[in-house]
Structure 1
Amino acid sequence: MKSLSMLICLTLMIGVFAACSNNNNAKSSDANADSQGSKEVKLTFFNTSAEVNTVFEELFKTYNELHPNVKIELIPTPIGGAQLEKFQSLLASNNPATIANLDAGTVLQYRDSFLDLESEKAKYEQLTKPGAVEGALLDGQFLGVPWTAQGYGLLYNKRVVEESIGGPFDPASVKTRDDLEALFQKIEAAGTAPVMIHGADWSLGSHYLGLAYSLQSENDVEANRAFVESLKGGEVDLSANPQFMGLMDTFDLLKKYNARKNDPLVADYNKDSADFANGEAAFYFMGDWTWAVIGTLEGRDEEFGILPVPISNNPDDFGNSQVAYSEPKLFAIDNSGSTPEQQEAAKAFIEWLVTSEQGQRAIIEDMGLSMPYKDLKATSTNVISNAVTEYVDQGKFINIGVINYLPQDYWAKTGASMQKYLVDRVDREGFIQEVTDYWKSQAGK
């Protein structure tokens, strides 16, 4: 009986110790799980940079391998205006994306749906180049993290230009409109089309005519906004505005030497970019984003650069030595239907995306984009973007941030007027009237 009693006691003690041990192990596992954030969090990512959908999807997989509890699903969008419609439908159905990669103007338009990232602002001011966060502010609010920077102007094919002029080309030699025309004349005399104009409304209405609103001050966005408000109020005579008229005088020059002058509205973006890259035109009014096409071409030319669009014959006028520059896309986090856990996971993912070697390599090398960040861990192969960066680092840029505050249809409406002017269906006076009428129709909006 004594032996049996001892056996029973020993068995009970072993059971108690085992239970205690299991309980302690369970607590330890729970603590480890909590420290790693083991609760599964699902994020959705609305992407308006449709041309790089596959790159983002690979990044989501990489992040999931590093953070198994976080799963990110891409919400792809078509290229063009239907992107905004899809975004609106997600909001209307109470099924918003956790993270949205959007134009800054769209973030501003739907500001009430996004998380205020003021708590993240100081961190990103340390991570980015000077002015990057300031340029991303929308009415003073930090609603989206900047992740890419883009510039545009007159791209040039170095081989074509140098063969045409018979020697090295110094881009700083073009300081005025007359300088540009003299160069065009040499190129044309050598048997090559001097310049390519892409005839799409977004290129003409947003990128070209959009400069008129950004040139009203030397990078004072609020002053440029005030100018637009004066346009809406009918208080501005565009025919007496030197920046607007100078820009249009330069457009007349581009029209005169346009490689597409026989059919200027075909607007085949891939063909225009490829023809320029292969030397069929010396200059191309476009931005560094065209490297997504040019960079993949076999047998193309290798060296390209960028010139500002001169707007006068006074080399000291603002715009003649500066290229257009902006941070066109922001990563914004939903605040209308996302949980606090999703929002925190979204913040962590965005920070990883823009600071990690994997994220930076994907953005810079695979997407071919420029990033407004310090201490980059990847080298860009986009020679046009690198040329833009040289201007920006010297402070020679036009802040086109005013476009973030313009109506969503401004580029389509005024772009259509630009197309008519391009094909001589309306003269300068008629064109000015159409643009003036558009802005008056926006009064009070």
Structure 2
Amino acid sequence: MNWFKRLSWTALTVSLAASLAACGSSDSKSGASASPASGSGKVKITLLNSKGEIQTQLEDAAKSFHEDNPDITLEIQLVPAGSSPFEKASTLYASGNPPTMIMLDTGDVAKFKDRILDLTDEKWNKDAIANALDLTSFDGKNYAFPLAVEGYGFIYNKAVVDKAVGGTFDPSTITTTTALEELFKKVEASGKKALIISPMDWSLGAHYLPLAYAGQSKDTAQVNKFVASLKAGSVDLSANKVFNGLMDTFDVMMKYNMDKASPLSTTYEKGPEVLGKGQVGLWFMGNWAWPQLSGFDTANKQYGFLPVPVSNNPDDYGNTQISAAVSKRIVVDKQKSTPEQQAAAKKFLDWIVYQQKGQDFLVNKANIVPAFKNITLPAPDPLGKSIQDYLAKGKVQPSMSDLPADHWAKVGASMQKYLSKAGDRATLAKEIQDYWKTVK
């Protein structure tokens, strides 16, 4: 869920150390091997950050952590714009100077399994929300700290839809494709545009289409079996109920898209602008968009999520669930970091989960929806609150966080072709199936 971050955020180019003067160290800033002289009692650790939008907040958290733990200095490094955390971490390992901690996308954890610590015995494992550790556990051992939950669906502007329905909009009434279209019609009748579709390949290929995979079953094992069948070439998507239902909804979206005359020309930046200014009622996107969205709405700031329906049966799985999952994980290096550095890294992770200042950083400063049951701070933004509400009600469909790295680009291009009417549904289904046959 974070590929787009590298495209839409301007990364800082210089990593700043937190309270370096306090430890009096002039060691290299590059990796885990940089630490004060043995026996000094002081430890320097590093964290490679792949969420560029929280770089400043992480640096402030590092300072706060150092205040609580004067013998530990934490430096925050940044994955450069245009690079993936996997690429940057791989480069640092190749140079023999990896960070103590690495913030990875969920699907990359397995690739580093032999280089990172088994974190199964850490206390926070027992406080993690349901399914938070599933995709980073191998042979009964968990290798990653679940940092952030992100979710997506239709973001609605409450002021716009309230006006459209002539009262207070009840999101629980949108449980079918037909109900969604009726809402679109009401928004248009009120003088606003119903919807904007952001046509980026990551949005269509990493977020929208995967709803067809995840929506196959509530049982994760069945979803995995479906994906395995796609790889084996034994799935006929053109006859698949969930895929066709999802694309039926997409057809409705295309019909009411404010930019349907030129659907591929729309930029990401236009979405938060037209939604925030109340020019459009809904936008298919995730809670990561809040910083931009809030910048265009200085008065209302009332938003929420609607699920993406896949049928006209309100009871069908997916019609009342938004897609959400842990999108970012922190792992701890075991190849180059010292036992003291590993212990310090574990202390930082505990600090985030169990200390008030750590929780405040996570929720209030970094605007992150936590993956831990013991953290009860309400999200400070409406999109985070909406996700927390769906989580509390058990109305969450696990996002496909471990798709192949090229999925969103390859399949996203096929979705773009469909959006621009350069290919029909049969062509789309075939191209998706052909893609999966190439995945090893």
TM-score (norm 1): 0.86
Match of 1:207 in 2: 207
Kindly state the Cα deviation for residue 137 of structure 1 after the two structures are TM-superposed.
3.3
Deviation, structure 1 residue 135 = 6.2
- Residues 193/141 of structure 1: CA separation in 2 closer, same or farther (3 Å cut): farther
Following superposition, the deviation at residue 98 of structure 1 comes to 0.8
CA deviation map 1:92-112 (0-9, x unaligned)? 112111101111101122222
CA deviation after TM superposition for structure 1 residue 141, in Å: 3.1
Partner of 2:91, secondary structure, is: helix
Q: Secondary structure at the match of 1:149?
A: strand
CA distance in 2, matches of 1:281, 1:68: 50
Worse-superposed segment, 431-440 or 74-83: 74-83
Residue pair 2:238, 2:429 contacting (<8 A) in 1 also: yes
Corresponding residue for 2:261?
262
Aligned-partner Cα distance in 2 for 1:81–1:214:
27
CA distance in 1: counterparts of 2:234 and 2:374, whole angstroms: 47
8 Å CA contact 1:116–1:143 kept in 2: the answer is yes
Matches within 5 A, 1:17-36: none
Separation in 1, partners of 2:246, 2:389: 24
Matches within 5 A, 1:371-390: 371-376=370-375, 378-390=377-389
2:401 to 400, 403, 413: 403
Q: Is the 8 A contact 1:38 1:69 kept in 2?
A: no
Question: Is the 2:159–2:302 Cα contact (8 Å) retained in structure 1?
Answer: yes
Count of residues in Structure 1 that have an aligned counterpart in Structure 2:
402
Structure 1's 267 and 225: CA in aligned 2 closer, same or farther, altered over 3 A?
farther
2:71 aligned residue? 69
Q: Which runs of 5+ in 1 are unaligned?
A: 1-36
Code of the residue aligned with 2:401 in structure 1: it is I
1:244-323 paired onto structure 2 within 5 Å: 244-297=243-296, 299-323=298-322
CA contact (8 A) 1:214 1:399 kept: yes
Q: Flag the 1:291–1:77 CA change in 2: closer, same or farther, 3 A.
A: same
Q: Give the C-alpha shift of residue 131 in structure 1.
A: 4.3
Three-state SS of the structure 1 residue aligned to 2:148 is coil
Q: CA deviation at 1:223?
A: 1.9
Distance 1:138 1:225 in 2: 15
**Counterpart-to-counterpart distance in 2, 1:308 and 1:138:** 31
Change (3 A) 1:398 1:309: same
Amino acid at match of 2:206: S
Distance 1:291 1:413, change over 3 A: same
Please give the secondary structure, in 2, of the residue aligned with 1:118. coil
CA distance in 1, matches of 2:138, 2:199: 30
Q: Structure 1: how far apart are the matches of 2:138 and 2:125?
A: 15
Work out whether residues 86 and 104 of structure 2, in 8 Å CA contact, stay in contact via their aligned partners in 1. Answer: no
Compare CA radii of gyration and give the structure with the larger one.
Answer: 1
- 2:303, 2:223 → 1: CA distance? 31
Distance 1:365 1:268, change over 3 A: farther
Indicate the residue corresponding to 1:238 in structure 2: 237
1:46 to 2:48 alignment: yes
Deviations along 1:397-442, one digit per CA (max 9) or x if unpaired, are 1012x432x2111111111111111111211111111111110111
Question: For residues 115 and 91 of structure 1, what CA distance do their matches in structure 2 show?
Answer: 15
In the alignment, the residues of structure 1 paired with residue 53 and residue 147 of structure 2 have an alpha-carbon distance, to the nearest angstrom, of 16
SS of residue matched to 1:352: helix
Structure 1 residues 138 and 182: CA distance shift in structure 2, 3 A: farther
Q: Deviations over 1:50-100 (max 9, x none)?
A: 111111011111112222221122221134444432222112112111101
- Structure 2, unaligned stretches of length 5 or more? 1-38
Answering whether residue 92 of structure 2 is matched by residue 114 of structure 1, we say no
Structure 2 equivalent of residue 352 of structure 1:
351
1:98–1:333 CA contact under 8 A, matched in 2: yes
The residue number in structure 2 matching 1:415 is 412
Give per-residue Cα distances to partners, 1:234-272, cap 9 Å, x unaligned: 100000111111111111111111122233234533331
2:91 aligned residue: 89
When residues 224 and 241 of structure 1 are mapped into structure 2, their CA distance, relative to the original with a 3 A threshold, is same
Query: In the alignment, is the contact (CA less than 8 A) between 2:136 and 2:142 conserved in 1?
Result: yes
Instruction: Give distance in 1, aligned partners of 2:374 and 2:114.
Output: 33
Q: State the alpha-carbon separation in 2 of the partners of residues 129 and 82 from structure 1.
A: 26
Query: What's the secondary structure of 1:44's corresponding residue?
Result: strand
Q: Give the C-alpha shift of residue 228 in structure 1.
A: 1.0
| Cross-structure match for 1:152 | 152
Q: 1:167: Cα distance to partner?
A: 1.7
Partner of 2:28: none
**Counterpart Cα distance in 2 of 1:328 and 1:138:** 18
Contact map agreement 1:210 1:403 (CA 8 A) in 2: no
**Would you tell me which structure has more helix in proportion to its own residues?**
1
Q: Which residue of structure 2 lines up, in the alignment, with residue 3 of structure 1?
A: none
Assess if the C-alpha contact under 8 Å between 2:85 and 2:104 holds in 1: no
**In structure 1, C-alpha distance between the alignment counterparts of 2:360 and 2:327, rounded to whole Å:** 19
Q: 1:127 to 1:101 in 2, by over 3 A?
A: same
Letter in 1 for 2:179: D
1:98/1:342 contact within 8 Å kept: yes
